Structure 1
Amino acid sequence: MNRHPRQNYLPNDFFLAPKPIAQTAGSMDYRQIVSVMVGQMLESAHAAGLDRYEVAARASRLTGQHISKAMLDGYTAPSRQTFNIPLWIAPVLQVVCGCSELAEWQAENIGGQLLLGADTLDAEIGRMERQRIGANKRLRALRNLSERSA
């Protein structure tokens, strides 16, 4: 399978800008990859004690729309290339299954990085630290100019 590997962000490269995948003709048919990822998401839920019937029931309650076990089975079948998971159901299944790998994969494909929970605070702290460092450099430069002109 042609799954793009997830990037591992180490602390020293956390603020490097991720790049989107190359736009090569015919390289972005993600139907099989998405099917496998949804299957892995449902396997994780099963390992946590939720079978597909329960996942379908919870997703149905959360959306107010009927989502069946048969639909989930179809979303995980790479052979059913015209039956991928609809975008509106993906975040619901991620919440029910307690997985974010599909959203992380999507973000990486377009050159981003998904941050959840405390990671969002850490990223904001890092952004503000960079701003502070830049402001301090600017202040030093202005002070030097002020001292020279006095």
Structure 2
Amino acid sequence: MTNEYLSKPLPSVEEQQDFYQKLRAKVQTWLDNKSGMVGKLGKYVLFAPDLFHLLTKMMFDNRIDAKSKGMVGAGILYFFAPLDFLPEILVGPGGFADDVVVAVYIVNTLLNKFPSEIIEEHWAGDEELLSVVRGISDSGSKFVSKLPAGRLVKRFLK
């Protein structure tokens, strides 16, 4: 990346919202055509756009300290990583499952450090944020722990 690229302004709020809605629609369309194990993953994968949106909003919240923003930034970069444990380029939107694991770990860490209202005000998902985090952490933990990213989080980030 060049300094020229980094000096460009962020997309407008409307452009960001448009990207978010398109990504959500793409994931939903993909899920509508899946069944079996992928279908079971679906409810977790559908949270990927919401969690990504939340992390990006947290980066610009001046109430979040620099160390926490470093963790948030790492989570955002994980979404963009071309080669992660479940690369989207190879497995389609199902590849967001490991991104969700990493994002939930980060959000859970932030929820333990800051008042939940600070984090929740940036949440754009349809369901309550705490329910989503709890649901993925609890009911999905036996499945999530089988994912490489789930094992990585348990091993290195705790």
- TM category (shorter chain) comes to 0.3 to 0.5
Higher-helix-fraction structure = 2
The structure number with the bigger radius of gyration is 1
TM-score by length of 2: 0.32
- Normalising by structure 1, we get a TM-score of 0.33
Higher relative contact order (CA 8 A, sep 6+): 1
